[in-house]
């Protein structure tokens, strides 16, 4: 039987392309998009590719949308929907912080709970979380987003242990800095803040995402491999060339001193001031 794959956040970015490619491979794809206008845009993209997929309005923060999705017979779930709220921990407004967690954590977990029930009945299923290297390490000005992905890492790890006895697989995909516009938009979210700009510690007009960014092609292919079972790894970092760097950063925390670099601007903070948005590798 052909597997049915539900992809949330399929209106843009990774989810958009992965949905179209999986449909081209013959899978039954349910593409969930956040807002109704994205239904038309994705349907037009599907027509141009000559593929068929079921497109549904699915805002993971909306209980009605989640209950609707619970009626579908889903074999594989890709929790891809997510937003990125940029800004220093000292500056980000409460509303933006709450929105970050509602979209990236609460909504996906509640949706997963509903879809799990049918998977448990069948003793089979696969749940994949689109996490990030930001779920493993953290950059300045991305504390809200990174903490939401750290939470997803914890949830995925716990869930993986909890549902093994029911025959359900759990995996993560952890993209690094890829040039899709997502990272650069994170560093523009301050433009909609409801706060007093005079009290901010940082000048966000002059700060950008502090990394050169890669072509996203490896993420598409790896995500498809994880969803289809061709890749069996639990954690899947892309690009693979930064895996060693991630491990080094995680290890370095064990010897880090709280007095280290006090009174000086860290290199990555300075790079955020120096780099131009959308800088490719």
Which is it for the CA torsion 100, 233, 74, 164, positive or negative?
A: negative
Catalytic residue among 145, 204, 234, 273: 145
- Cα–Cα distance measured from residue 161 to residue 157, given in angstroms and rounded to the nearest whole number: 7
CA distance readout (Å), 198 to 141, 151, 202: 18, 32, 10
**How far is residue 246 CA from its own chain's centroid?**
17
CA distance readout (Å), 98 to 31, 41, 102, 193, 268: 26, 29, 6, 13, 26
Catalytic, 145? Answer yes
Q: Which residue has the tokens 């370095």?
A: 252
Helix (H, G, I), strand (E, B) or coil at 178: strand
Query: Which residues participate in catalysis according to the annotation?
Result: 145
């Amino acid at each position: 039987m052909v597997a049915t794959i539900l992809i949330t956040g399929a209106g843009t970015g990774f989810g958009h392309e992965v949905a179209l490619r999986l449909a081209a491979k013959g899978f039954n794809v349910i593409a969930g998009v956040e807002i109704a206008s994205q239904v038309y845009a994705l349907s037009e993209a599907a027509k141009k590719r000559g593929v068929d997929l079921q497109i549904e309005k699915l805002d993971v923060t909306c209980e009605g949308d989640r209950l609707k999705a619970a009626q579908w017979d889903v074999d594989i779930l890709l929790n891809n929907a997510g937003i990125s709220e940029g800004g220093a921990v000292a500056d980000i407004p409460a509303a933006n912080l709450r929105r970050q967690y509602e979209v990236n954590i609460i909504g996906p977990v509640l949706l997963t709970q509903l879809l799990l029930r049918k998977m448990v009945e069948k003793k089979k299923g696969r749940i994949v979380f689109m996490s990030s290297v930001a779920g493993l390490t953290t950059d300045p000005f991305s504390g809200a987003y990174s903490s939401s992905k750290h939470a997803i890492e914890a949830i995925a790890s716990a869930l993986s242990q909890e549902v093994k006895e029911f025959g359900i697989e759990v995996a993560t995909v952890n993209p690094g800095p890829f040039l899709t516009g997502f990272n650069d938009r994170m560093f523009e979210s301050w433009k909609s803040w409801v706060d007093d700009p005079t009290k901010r510690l940082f000048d966000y007009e002059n700060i950008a995402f502090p990394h050169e960014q890669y072509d996203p092609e490896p993420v598409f292919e790896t995500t498809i491999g994880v969803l289809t079972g061709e890749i069996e790894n639990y954690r899947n970092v892309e690009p693979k060339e930064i895996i060693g760097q991630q491990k080094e950063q995680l290890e370095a925390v064990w010897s880090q001193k709280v007095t280290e670099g006090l009174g000086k601007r860290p290199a990555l903070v300075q790079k955020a001031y120096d780099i131009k948005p959308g800088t490719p590798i």
